Chains A and B, each alone.
Chain A
């Protein structure tokens, strides 16, 4: 009389019983709604995607590899830090626009600290202080912060995945980027080129890995980009 009761309790506790009840629909519920964006320019986007892919393997990667061989790592790091520091105005303004005053103050402190102690930003002594490294903001995120949706998906030549909102965001940031105001324009462009190649020299192989991991690279990069941007806006 006592025994069946105990056996009932015992079997209810067993892992097998637990697994079969939780197993069934749980994996469906788990899904947070997927982030999707309309892609009416799909045909054009795919063409630009393929173009970017070719440009990477034919031009950008060989250039970055050559550059990496010639320029020592500490120098490349210094250049990376320098350009990153120059990006401060964009970050400061967008923190301000989103009302993130603490982050804005941190960005300003970091800029001052790195420009002075980091000798014009070539060194990044501020990276040792977590509170001086807030999540980075840009105008695309600011627009997203105020509830402006992505719009449509775009693949930009050379720049890669984007959305209508983020592209407009880049346009907005263009006016608060110091390099924009360098005269002559050719110098500004070659500096931009230098920044790009330098950054790429650290990331050779990443594009190939992401592409290899994907079954449909176009869809994978689109989804990855959208998830990544959502995360940044939420921060």
Chain B
């Protein structure tokens, strides 16, 4: 009896929040940070940015995103290159994401439409942003890793972020080496920081 209790306590499968719940809180926190008048001042932008990035680092699984963006090319990267790539790709994605929301977000409402269990440990959470003249659909593909739901792809109006990067990386890796691709990404990130 006691052993049974230990087993169920340890595996804790029921403890994982649903994918939609796992996504809702971070997104709502990010939105409130964006709407917070405290950060209206351009000097405060970096602080706002850092706070938001801390949240996105938790909810996005950048390693998974890197794997899928490289697909078959992932295996041809050395473990060191894989780490470096995931790191710099994460920075690049975070920067692009930050630019987009800090630039575009003007207080729109985000509606969580629902979630769909695609497979064991995989789910799709659908949302839409209420905007003029028409709403924008944003879907999050999520993976259950270590009992946590995290995002591995974002689909905006039918365009998958990961597929879009894959088409670019495939093209680059035909002629260039993994190190060269990593350098390219590094340069993009550095230009941003220089700004």
Contact = CB atoms under 8 A, between A and B. Distances in A.
Contact of A209 (B64, B104, B172, B184): B104
B133 to A, nearest CB: 6
Interface string B130-170: 00111000000000011100000000011110011111110
A40 interface: no
Contact of B67 (A27, A81, A133, A224): A27
B167 A219 contact: yes
Main secondary structure of the interface of B (DSSP, over half): helix
B96 A224 contact: no
A81 B132 CA distance: 10
B7 interface: yes
B7 A216 contact: no
Q: How large is the interface on B (under 10, 10 to 19, 20 to 34, 35 or more residues)?
A: 35 or more
A70 interface: no
B71 A224 contact: no
Nearest to B184: A215
B142 to A, nearest CB: 12
Given A223-B168, A224-B164, A228-B158, A27 B64 contact: yes
Nearest to B75: A28
Contacts of A27: 64, 67-68, 71, 74
A15 B146 contact: yes
A141 B98 CA distance: 33
Contacts of A133: 134
B171 A212 contact: no
B167 A220 contact: yes
Nearest to B159: A227
B127 to A, nearest CB: 16
A215 B185 contact: yes
A202 B132 CA distance: 9
B133 A213 contact: no
B167 A213 contact: no
A231 B157 contact: yes
Contacts of B164: 220, 223-224, 227
B166 A28 contact: no
A222 B166 CA distance: 12
Contact of A215 (B64, B121, B172): B172
A19 interface: yes
A15 B99 CA distance: 36
A202 B180 CA distance: 37
A77 interface: yes
B44 interface: no
B11 interface: yes
Contacts of B134: 127, 133
B38 interface: no
A27 B63 CA distance: 11
B188 interface: yes
A30 interface: yes
Contacts of B145: 19
Interface centre among B74, B134, B147, by most chain A C-beta atoms within 10 angstroms, is: B134
Contacts of B100: 209, 213
18 contacts: A9-B7, A27-B64, A27-B71, A28-B72, A31-B163, A32-B163, A34-B166, A34-B167, A127-B133, A127-B134, A212-B96, A212-B99, A213-B100, A215-B185, A220-B168, A223-B168, A231-B158, A232-B158
Given A209-B99, A215-B169, A228-B157, 12 more contacts: A10-B11, A14-B11, A34-B167, A77-B133, A80-B133, A209-B103, A212-B99, A216-B171, A220-B168, A223-B164, A223-B168, A227-B163
